[in-house]
Amino acid sequence: VIKCKAAVLWEANKPFSIEEVEVAPPKEHEVRIKIMATGICRSDDHVITGVLVMPFPIILGHEAAGVVESVGQGVTLIKPGDKVIPLFVPQCGECKSCLNTKGNLCSKTDLGTSAGLMPDGTTRFTCKGKAIHHFLGTSTFTEYTVVHESAVAKIDSAAPLDKVCLIGCGFSTGYGAALQTAKVESGSTCAVFGLGGVGLSVVMGCKEAGASRIIAVDINKDKFAKAKELGATDCINPKDFNKPIHEVLMEMTGQGVDYSFEVIGREDTMTAALACCQHNYGVSVIVGVPPAKQKVTFDPMLLFTGRSWKGSVFGGWKSKDAVPKLVADYMKKKFVLDPLITHTLPWTKINEGFDLLRTGK
């Protein structure tokens, strides 16, 4: 058992508490990792506010990189000392989604089940004598974590962990939504709703695909300079118009965009993103986590005319296969990650990090 520090969330709508926790050794087919860097993602904040329902107490965090400390019995592909990225969407290689070339949402994921436990139904974390739940099979807001071997990817030993941790969620999710899920084509027009780290990664994916026009939409104009730096051709603020934003986009593009992306997680922006794409062959992708217990109402004629409405989890990538390749692409300078990193804090200042997230900074 390793005793280390972790940021424990004891209950909803409260700050994280830095506690000493006990991390059990890895069981069969499990890997224990020393976490070196972790990103803060809005999905973590969704648990705090109750938008994403999970059991408490819990150790959040799912976008990270680290070094393997030890492995359980039966683990053959990963050894202590390897640099790795934990995968909140695992790849077991055996379920229907893993076996289908079009699928990536492995049935072993905790996304949608909210059990907060390892695949065997138990936890590896204890604090003050209490069992602490895992988050999405990763739990990275801790100095050490345990993951199943299907939920970890070995990466280039030269990769800078404080950058490539973003490939564990934010970057891959956005970049893949454009390249894998929407399959944006060269010369096409795109609209991206929401310019956080994931939205900016969608912009990068659209640019990589050769989109001729990328319209970035956000109510925080402070995000526009960076969006343009990463490939956005136009930036618009819905607050600057006295008509619905989908009408503004229709007027800007003539018939609507070829591809639109909702990267916020709100029902009103999801329907606006659908409505702003071309009525017959437009494709709209939901990338932001939808809020719990909320329903979307929309005019079915929007779909009847031929539009496609799709969802995308982890950018549609098969995680274990894709993450090492994405890290290799980063090392070859095929894309940048630095602009996505606004602040670097010691992890004991995690509550300050979440304040920065909530204030749009």
Of residues 46, 133, 148, 246, which has the active-site annotation? 46
Record the tokens describing residue 36, joined without a space: 């070196």
* 355-358: Cβ within 8 A, 24+ apart: 357/40, 357/42, 357/45, 358/45
* Residue 240 burial (CB count, 10 A): 10
Non-local CB neighbours of 215 within 8 Å, separated by 6+ positions: 189, 190, 191, 192, 232, 233, 234, 235, 236, 249, 252, 253, 257
Q: Which of 43, 139, 172, 284 is catalytic?
A: 43
277 is catalytic: no
The yes-or-no answer on residue 43 being catalytic is yes
Catalytic position from the list 62, 133, 134, 246: 62
Phi, psi angles (nearest 5°) of residue 319? -60, -50
- In sequence order, the 6+-apart residues with CB closer than 8 A to the CB of 343 are 353, 356, 361
Rounded Cα–Cα distance for residues 135 and 156 (Å): 25
* Beta strand 144-148 pairing with 64-71: unpaired
Q: Contact at 8 Å (CB) between 88 and 314?
A: yes
> CA 137 to CA 92: how far, in whole Å?
13
Known catalytic residue at 46:
yes
Please identify which of the residues 41, 165, 190, 206 carries the catalytic annotation. Answer: 41
Q: Is 133 a catalytic residue?
A: no
Give the Cα separation of 188 and 185 in Å (integer).
Answer: 6
Among the listed residues 92, 98, 165, 169, the single catalytic one is: 169
Catalytic residue check, 279: no
Active-site annotation, residues: 41, 43, 46, 62, 169
